[in-house]
Structure formats: structure tokens, C-alpha cells
Chain A
């Protein structure tokens, strides 16, 4: 079984590698087929790699990381991939047994061609019998392997001629024997604990059989013959097949005593393994190891991803055990007839000491909830209590006869935003499970909820630790609280041409006209109706075809599972998520005259590199009703993938937008501090334009990049290209190359284009801009878009550019004084803020501080807006006494900042003052608007708000 898994791992590699190759092949496939994906080419032979991760209830959470782009080629050639492509099933690392696979087959009959299914079953049948390393697998896979030598085997027979050197190395792995007990899988007959706990496959018989040199052939040496996917051994990435395990925590081990040694490990702990490894000495091998080292050197996988994979969370959990936090679902109806211990606790997490104390006083929560409703006439919302020295806020959510209690440390979550946090988590649970009762009261949900709340607390209590593996900037807790708390999604405005293209591609997909792949083709009733989808690029929403409430539901799910930040780093090779969801708006509609179809809804999220598309599907209604718990349908997943691949052509345009200087011009706080300014001026030839040309001047490295990009573009706009672009044929060209394969006669053209694209990949690699870049150039020149200066920048003289920036300046006065802004549009449920890149370009030492401060202040401002919301619409006269400050329309705070560690004793530290202002507009559309600007110019925030919202053309 273990080896079967290893084989699948390789299988995955191959497929991943194929996708990795830039999807070009897919494109050529596309072009040949009529409208979209050609199924027979793509998915017939290779079953989707996520197939085995589908759970019994049909849910799927499959996340596969990819190397960085430059490493991709390398990764294909060596075993680097094997260590990183790890599969994950939402619950726990589930060891697949023959039995539940069969069950799955039975449940997954929907929409699968019979022949394919049969083939799959046959293949699966074969699997358990293969107790061999992956490379020795059946013919088909083998041939696939030979083309991509992604082998995790070091000592393949054919390569043994290389001169090798024996070395010792120490590897630390984290083992958790408890997980063994939890999983129902029986210990494999031969492997025992070594296999089950550590994930190392050792076959005593092979040592003899495999033709090891006689001098090494010692029966009791623990040679690593294979690694089990998802096991600690493979995750650490340092144990290689062929290594010999010498000692565990300084205890010498052999096949004689290894089981005994491992069985002595009582609980989750880290152990040190001493391995004897074979260091390669020849050239080809040297390259190999260097790349291995490279993968090791770059922090392997961030904690977040580990957490998402459902790897052992005990360590993370332990590191916050001293921080009091808890979630409990308590029953208010007690059956007094059978008083049992802790009977009222329906669910509780985690089980640390500090939370145990909170659990001990659950009587308080129950009593208060019960009593205060009668006393003050309102349900209980929160209470604050002191646990030793720590202040803990407890949020309540009462539903029917049950009470959800969430306790969080006050230093992380101020009382001001506790309700938002609790409200969001409740809504996420409801979206995922339908209701709190259903979420908590089913016994088999417990491990999933554990995972859910582990993520929840980790994100709130130690967000920095989650991201430590990546290069993300130090996290800003208030920023996360504020931005995640907004009932909106971060939006990226795109140039209209690109936006239109994106929308067209999405609409094409949503029309579910999948050609011969669609159910219509076979005269069947449709399985799902696509209600809409939304598209994220690097954590920005770039297109949305979902109603607002649905969008927020989807976004809450993505936020909770940190999918958005995940996609913003170049780490996602492939992401497929499938689960039943219960959109809140649809669940609770009571519109007279019209009722929503009573269908079931499914959420499909597919991510490829930076793109992520979320699709909301409906079964029942006009589609056929869903029975049982259907798993993801290959056709739909493939169609989304195809859409994403289609969209990748537009990536260059989107990237260009991201690289463009900030649309309302931003200034860096450091420039306004005299000392800092001197320094900068000396660096950058003090020009008056300096502060105005914020991004452009600051990002000098970005500048050079941009120039080379434009240079290349200029080169490419050869006579031939511009001819084809200008004529009517060129127009056609535009359409087809953006959505390749739309019409048969475009094939040669797009083929050529793709060829060109591959070339450009070789040269620049950066922006596979080929056709699209050139195409967009002409129309853009005709209608200059003030928010998209990418190509214009170069042609304009400096003065013109300056004027340009002046027109885009949000603040009044000669100098640009805007530091940061957030605009939320509550009708569409989106918000706009400077992109991460824009923030990064402004760098500076004070500026990040300023942004943190801005977000913290926004929490307070928004809380002030929220307080007054329910009371709106009443006239002042109706208001009872003691009614509070009343509806707040605008709120501003002036801050003063000083440079940190000012050393000059003689002069006082220079100071800079700036405003953070929030404004709520109800007309013409409800908007909330937060800005941060230098106080040298008095601003009328309403005017700024209008300028900003019109300028951004929401």
C-alpha cells in the first residue's frame, strides 16, 4: 500500500510537471479542439491527481505547491519535486485503504464515462499488489517516467556507476504516535512502526535481492527503500531513498531493535535521526544535490501550508498553549435525568491548560446567557474576564438551544472587533455546514472542526509564525483584523480592455457550453447549473459574476483557509477544492412571489499559479438533483482549469497593471521627515518631481525592469505585427488569441503566437506577453487610460508625466500628500486599497509603521460607524435619552510620528503629523472610505472620497 502511494506521488509529479511546463501544450490542444478543452487528450490517460483525495462525503481539498518559476525546469529534472508535492485530504493524512477506495468509486459514478471508470477501477485493483518502488511500475506510468526522470530514487541500478562517498547526516523529524491511534489503518504487515510512524519503507528482503554490493549487504542495516507520502520522513525532505538509518536520538538502531525504539516514543515529539547517506561525487550528481540543497535552503514550506495540508498541528498548537483561547459549543438544554460529566459540551477546542481553565468556568457563560436575556432584554454578546494577568474577551453566539462561546486574548482581538470576528466565524461555519447545529453536532465533523479552529486561532494569535516560511512582510494584526473584517473583497481595477476579456472568458465558462464535454451533448440533464464565479489574481479579486452575498460567503471561506495570500506567492502548483456549501442569502430568502429553487449548492475552487477561480454550482433546480454526497466532477474541474489557462494569456496585462505606478499617487511617509528626506535627496538628485513621481522614482529596480520590458515590447512590434494588428484581420486575431481555439481557422495564427511566446519566455521569462501585450498596445494608445500608464510612461517627457500625475493626485495642493487609502463599496462588496506591491515600492522605515497605525485606527473608525448603523433612519426626536453619540458620518484622528531611535541629543527629533480619516457615505451608493495623508494641506474628505471613487471607476 505504501509503495502504491509512492507511485501515485510520482504520478502526480508527472502531471504536475506537465502543467508546470507552462501549459503550452494545453493550449495547442485547445486550439485544435473546437471550443474548449479536449478531454480525450488531457484527462483520459492521466486521471486527475486529486482523485484519491476525495473524501467520503465528496469533499476535496487538494493543494499542490510548485517551485518558483526559475526552479521549475530544474525541478522537473530532479527529485526536488517529490519532496514538495504532498497531497492533503482535509481531515488528516488519510491512509487509503482498498475498502474506502471502492466506496468512493461507487459514489463517484456521476458523469463519468463508463469506459474510463472501468479503466480506473482496473488500474486501482492493480495497485495494492505492487510492492515495488515507483519506477518499477506498470508500462504506462513507466513510459511517462522515462520522459520525465522525476525519480526519488537515488540508487537506481542504472546510475550506480557514479562514484559515491558515504556520509553521515543528522535529520530532525517530528513524530506523533497519537496520530497512529487515530487513523484506522492497520499497520502494514512488514513495515510496522518504521513505516507507520516515520514513513520509511524498509524491506529486509530487498536488501538481499536488489543487488547491493556485498560489503554493504548487512541484513540488519536499515536502508530506506521507499518513503510514504505525507509522512514525516518525506516531509522533512532530507531523507532519501538509499540512505541508511543509523541512530534515533543517539540510540543505534538496526532492523532488530527499530520497532522497540520507536515504540518508546510516548507522545508528539521531535527526534533526531542519524543517517548514512551516499554523497555523489561525479558532476551530474553534484548538480543534483546542489539543487536539493537549494530546495532546502529556501524555507521549504511555510507553516501555513503545512497547516492546510493537515499535517500535525500539535507543535503549532503547543506554541500558543499558554495563550488563553477556546471555542466551545454548549447545549443550553440539559437533560437533568442523566447528569453526566461535561455532557453539555458538544464541542470544544483546544485542550490546552489555559483553555482548560476557561472550560472550567463554562458555567459562567451558560448562566449569564440564560439570565441576562431576562434582565436587560437583549442576548448576551460578550464578556471580559481576567485569567491570571491576561484579559480575555469571550464572544457569544446563541442559536436555538445551543451556545457558541469563543474566547480570545484581548491583546490580539480588541473588544471593538470581537463581534465582527465571531460573526465571521459563525458565517463561515454556516456556509460550510448549513447551520451551527449541523456543524457541531455530528460526531464525524470533530476532526474537521479541530482543523478549522486550529487555523482560526493560529491566524489570530500567531499570524507571523504561519507565514514565517515565506518572505511575506511582518504581519500587521490590526490590518488583518480590519481588512478581513470588512464585508468586502479586495479588488484590483484592471484596464477596461483586460477587464472585458476576463469577463468574456468567465462568461463563456459560465454559459456551461462545454461542447462535447457537456451533458447536452449526450442528451443528459445537466448536473450543475453554474450560478456564477469570481476570479482572483494574487489575492486580488479581478472579476466577479456572483451576487454580493454569495461573493462574501465564498470570500469568507477563502479567507479562513488563507487561500488568497497563498495564491499571491508563487507557490500554488494546483489547488482544487470541492465542497457543498450553504450560501447564506439563498438559505434565507423569503421574497414574496419568487422563491429560490430548492437546490443544493457546491463550491468549486480551482487555483493554478496566481489565478484562482471560485465557482458556485447549483444542483437541483433546473439541474438534476444531487444524490448523496457527490464528489467533484472532472468535467467541471477541467473546464475551470481550461478557463484559467485561457486567462493566463492575460496575466501579462494584469501584471503590468500591478507594476504600474499607483493610480492615485502615493507618497512615502519617510519623505516628509526632514532627516530622511535629506538622505533621499542626496541619493536621488533632488528633483521637485520626486515626491510626485512616487512609485516610478522610488522603485528604481522596478524602473529598470520596466524599461527592459518596454524595450522588448518595442522590439517586438515589428512591421509584420503591427500590420496584422492594425487591419481587420488583426482584430480577429485579437479575439482569437485571447481565447485560443475559439474558431478553427485561427489555429495557425495562434500557434505562431504561442511559438513566439515560448521564445519570449526564454528571453525575459517574466511576462509571457507575446500576443496580448502587443495587441493591447494599439487600443491603449488610442484611448489613453489615466489609470494605466504602463506603456505611456516611456513616450511622455518628464514634464508631461508630471502633469499626468498631477491629474491623478488625490490630495490638493502642490505636493502629493496621500499615504494610504481604503475604499469600500458595500453594494458590490468590494474594497480597493493600494496593492501590496505599491506598498512595497514605497518601502521606507516609517511607512510600514504608518500603515499599521492606519489600520489600527481604521478599526476604531469603523467600529464608530458600525455602532451608529442600526439606529440610522430614525429622526433625532424619536431617539430616547442616553442614546449615545448618534450616527457618525466622519471621523478623523491626527497622529504624530517621530523616527525611531533618534540618536542626536542636541536637536529634537523631527516630527511629522498626518491624518487618518474615515468617511461614510450613503449617497449615491453606500461607501466607506478611509484615507491617510500628511496634514500640510487641509482636505475635505468628502471631496476626496468622491474623487477617489469616481477615479477608480468601481
Chain B
């Protein structure tokens, strides 16, 4: 009887004015056309009566979220929810809202805003949209461990052991490519980038990282890809040049008509990066830890996510369980740790900590966001820290003017010690890396 499987998510895209379905992604079985039609229909009906439907929740954690972008494109996401009726409903809604934003940005990134807003030929648009599918699927599945940027809108970073060398190389490489925007991505995370790259809007940085990940997953050694910047230049395309330096390490620049892919590859990649192969290998060795070995984490930290609120960068890691004493309750698996970390991030930010990204989003989005149910605003005093004890582990979150730290600890750590663990971890990392 149920059309959508538990836990699966389906994304529907229609034209806002006429309701013509453009594509559906996600879920093994597509929803019947009649359902898609009525999902769009209720929203349109409400619009005619001055009511904008934004989300809907069902028993068992099912969710539907509607959103119209630029008055031209309607995105609907339907999520099946879990089996238990354990509704982390609010958390789920935030995740889905974020997903819709990302999907729209991704469509703009690939096709440009003009093509999406002035639809002349629906069939052609449908064809063009196919080029976004791989990126959209990646966003939908969101299975890539250790990448939280889609959610946090903070660039996933990797702190290399010797950052200055890499920074110089990236700066030099970008300059030589006649560009101000360049970055080095290791294991899908930004290891170094030019200053201008960091000045891009955080969602753009996150999206470009995602694009680069999907491009490098295709296995080619280099590519030249036209991109629109959803906020920086939604109508004029730039070229994104990507070169694989080592498996897992890519360098890319955003540039104008010159240089050609070929000249850049032959002329500059070797010049700038060959001397740094060993440094790059060190960097790759840091791996998913994101933190250099010089930072010694306390043994009772299972996983952490550290966000720099000013630079909008984040570091995150999950530590593989080392030797734990017998008799302790089993630690959650690595995948589960990542999941808990994400959920705890959403939990804390929707209820207690504000995500002050209202500064850097478009006015339209700001209007939308202001309308979400702001539980945070109800507090008369400022929340600083929070923790959760669940059956699997303990989670702790703290916020300072500059940082937000979320960490997981095993159940064996006494609750009152969590605060010390968290503050110490924060000062350790910041002290060692200057993050």
C-alpha cells in the first residue's frame, strides 16, 4: 500500500508555473504520476489562496517539503521516514530543507540561472537537466562518510601537516593560471585554497567541492567544466579546471577563457606540484582524520566536528575504535558515528545554537529561513553548551564566539567530565593548528 520505501527519499522537480514534471530522482520506485500531480497541486492551490505550504509530517517520520525557487522551479522532496515511528522530525525537516537548497544551487551551478528561469523549451530543459543528475544523486544519497558540508554549509577542510608549502603552491599555481581562485582538495576536503576561494559564498564552496569530488570520482586525470556560481555569477559561466595530482588529491582553478586545459596541464601542473609530491603524500596520509598527527586527541573522543564560525570552515573526524576495555558496551560503528554526529549537529543548531549564515545567503533565502519555526529565539538567555546521553554514546556541543564544537564520547566517560573533555579538545586543536 505504501508507495515510498522506508528511509528512502525522492526528489521531484516541476516547473512552478505549469506543473510540468522535469525529473524525479532518488528511491527505487518512482511515485505515480497522480501523486506527483497532487503534491504539486496542493501547493499551487494554496498559492492561489495566499497560503504557502512549506512542509508536512506523517506518523513514522515521513516528511514532505515544498519549495519554489525564483518563481520558476518547484522542488518537492518526499522522505519515507523510519520504521519505528521514531520521528526526529524536526531534524529531518532541516536536512530536507538543506537538500532542496543544495539541489537548486547545483542546478544553477551546472546550467546557469537564465536557463532555469526562462524556460522556453521544456523538452530541452529536461535534456539539459540530465547533466546535473550525478551531482544531485550524490546530494540525495549523502552517503559519503566524513563530508558534512552539505549540511553545515561550511567547507570540509583537512589540516595538512605543513600548510605553508601547500598554500604557496596553490597561490602560485592560481596566479600562473591567470586566476584568483584556486584550491587543493585532498580526500574530498579542502587542504589549501587561495584567499579569494574562501571569499566565495560558503554554499558555493561546498558545492564546488562536491562537484570536484564527483568529477574526480569519474577517474579522468583532468577536466575543463563550465560552472555558474549560484550567488557570485549565476548568469555568466566560468571554467573550472581540475587536475589530478595523485589519486585522492586534486587541484583546481576557476578561470576565464585562458589558459586552455592543455596548456595548463602541460605547462604548470608539473612545475608547481612535482616538488611537492612528498608533502602531498603526507597530506594524503592524514586521511580521513583531517587533523595532523601533531594534534593529540584525548582517547575518549570518538568523533568530532569543529566549525570555525568566521571562516565557515569545518574539520571533522571519526576515530576508529582502538583497544577498548572488555565489558564496556560496544561502541557505535564508524558509519553510525558519522550519522550521530550529523544528527547531533542538526539537533543542537535547530534548538540552541544559531547558524549565523543569514549573513551570507541571498535575500530570498533569508526571507524563507526567517519563516522557519525559530525555537532558538524563544530563549531569554544565551545557550552556550549542550549535551545528550543516548543509549549508544554521549554527545557534547559547545559554542564560543569563534567556534562550534560537537563531539561524541563513549558511555564510559562520566557526564560531568564531558565539559572538560570538550573544552580541552577545542583548545588543543586550535592551539596546535590555529584553525
Residues of A within 8 A of B (CB): 357-358, 360-361, 363-364, 367-368, 371-389, 391, 393, 410, 414-416, 478, 849-850, 852-853, 856-857, 860, 864, 867-868, 870-871, 874, 876, 879-897, 913, 938-941
Contact = CB atoms under 8 A, between A and B. Distances in A.
Given A361-B49, A368-B42, 6 more contacts: A376-B62, A377-B4, A377-B6, A391-B54, A415-B373, A939-B416
B58 A373 contact: yes
Given A375-B78, A387-B50, A913-B384, A367 B389 contact: no
Contacts of A382: 56-57
Contacts of A895: 379, 381-384
Contacts of A416: 90, 375
Interface in B368-403: 371-373, 375, 378-392, 395, 398
Interface stretch (B162-170, B216-224, B231-239, B344-352): B344-352
B56 A879 contact: no
Contacts of B62: 372, 375-378
A890 B411 CA distance: 12
A393 B52 contact: no
Nearest to B411: A889
Interface stretch (B33-41, B128-136, B153-161, B358-366): B33-41
Interface residues of B, number: 76
A625 to B, nearest CB: 39
Given A375-B78, A895-B379, A885 B373 contact: no
A912 to B, nearest CB: 9
A880 B392 contact: no
B370 to A, nearest CB: 9
Nearest to A477: B378
Nearest to B83: A880
A884 B88 CA distance: 6
B326 interface: no
15 contacts: A363-B45, A375-B31, A376-B58, A380-B57, A382-B56, A414-B378, A853-B380, A860-B375, A880-B82, A880-B84, A885-B343, A885-B388, A888-B389, A890-B389, A940-B415
A323 B384 CA distance: 33
A374 B34 CA distance: 12
B80 interface: yes
Q: Which one of A478, A864, A891 has the highest number of Cβ atoms from chain B below 10 Å of its Cβ?
A: A891
Nearest to B372: A391
B308 interface: no
A363 B63 CA distance: 19
A538 B3 CA distance: 54
A408 to B, nearest CB: 11
Given A387-B50, A884-B91, A885-B88, A372 B58 contact: yes
B68 to A, nearest CB: 11
> Helix, strand, loop or mixed for chain B's interface?
mixed
B352 A893 contact: yes
Contacts of A864: 347, 388
A883 B86 contact: yes
Interface string B247-265: 0000000000000000000
A387 B38 CA distance: 21
Interface in B5-44: 6-7, 31, 35, 38-39, 41-42
Given A380-B56, A890-B388, A478 B378 contact: yes
Contact of A849 (B58, B87, B381): B381
A429 to B, nearest CB: 20
A415 to B, nearest CB: 5
A941 to B, nearest CB: 7
A383 B53 contact: yes
Contact of A860 (B81, B351, B380, B419): B351
Contact of B384 (A860, A868, A894, A939): A894
Contacts of B91: 884-885
B54 A386 contact: yes
A371 B6 contact: no
Contacts of A893: 352, 383, 385-386
Interface of B: 1-4, 6-7, 31, 35, 38-39, 41-42, 45-46, 49-64, 78-91, 339-340, 343-344, 347, 351-352, 371-373, 375, 378-392, 395, 398, 414-416, 419
B80 A376 contact: yes
A938 to B, nearest CB: 4
**Chain B CB within 10 Å, residue with most, of A358, A850, A881, A892:** A892
B343 A361 contact: no
A389 B90 contact: no
Given A387-B50, A895-B383, A371 B58 contact: no
Contacts of B392: 876, 886
B388 A867 contact: no
B50 to A, nearest CB: 6
A378 B59 contact: yes
A367 B44 CA distance: 13
Contact of A377 (B1, B42, B89): B1
A852 B55 CA distance: 29
B83 to A, nearest CB: 5
A375 B3 contact: yes
The 9 residue pairs across chains A and B that have the minimum distance between CB atoms: A376-B62, A378-B59, A377-B2, A378-B60, A884-B88, A938-B416, A383-B56, A890-B389, A894-B385
Contacts of A892: 386-387, 415
Contacts of B351: 860
Give the interface centre of A363, A385, A387 by most chain B CB atoms within 10 Å.
A385
B86 A871 contact: yes
A850 B86 contact: no
Contacts of B89: 381, 415, 867
Contacts of A478: 378
Contacts of B63: 376
Nearest to A365: B42
B383 A894 contact: yes
- Of B54, B56, B339, B387, most A-chain CB atoms within 10 Å: B56
Nearest to A394: B56
Given A380-B57, A385-B52, A879-B84, A885 B390 contact: yes
A26 to B, nearest CB: 48
Contacts of A388: 50
A620 to B, nearest CB: 36
Contacts of B382: 895-897
Contacts of B51: 357-358, 360-361, 364, 385-387
Contacts of B398: 894
Nearest to B31: A375
B41 A367 contact: yes
A372 B64 contact: yes
Nearest to B332: A876
A867 B87 contact: yes
Given A381-B59, A889-B391, A363 B82 contact: no
A894 B386 CA distance: 6
B396 to A, nearest CB: 10
Nearest to B34: A371
A357 B49 contact: yes
Contacts of A887: 390-391
Contact of B344 (A364, A849, A885): A885
A429 B230 CA distance: 51
Nearest to B65: A384
A364 B53 CA distance: 9
A280 to B, nearest CB: 51
A383 B55 contact: yes
A940 B419 CA distance: 13
A870 B84 contact: yes
Contacts of A380: 56-59
Contact of B389 (A357, A385, A889): A889
Given A357-B51, A376-B78, A889 B390 contact: yes
A396 to B, nearest CB: 9
B339 A882 contact: yes
A322 to B, nearest CB: 14
**Could you say which of A372, A856, A887 has the most chain B C-beta atoms within 10 Å of its C-beta?**
A372
B421 to A, nearest CB: 12
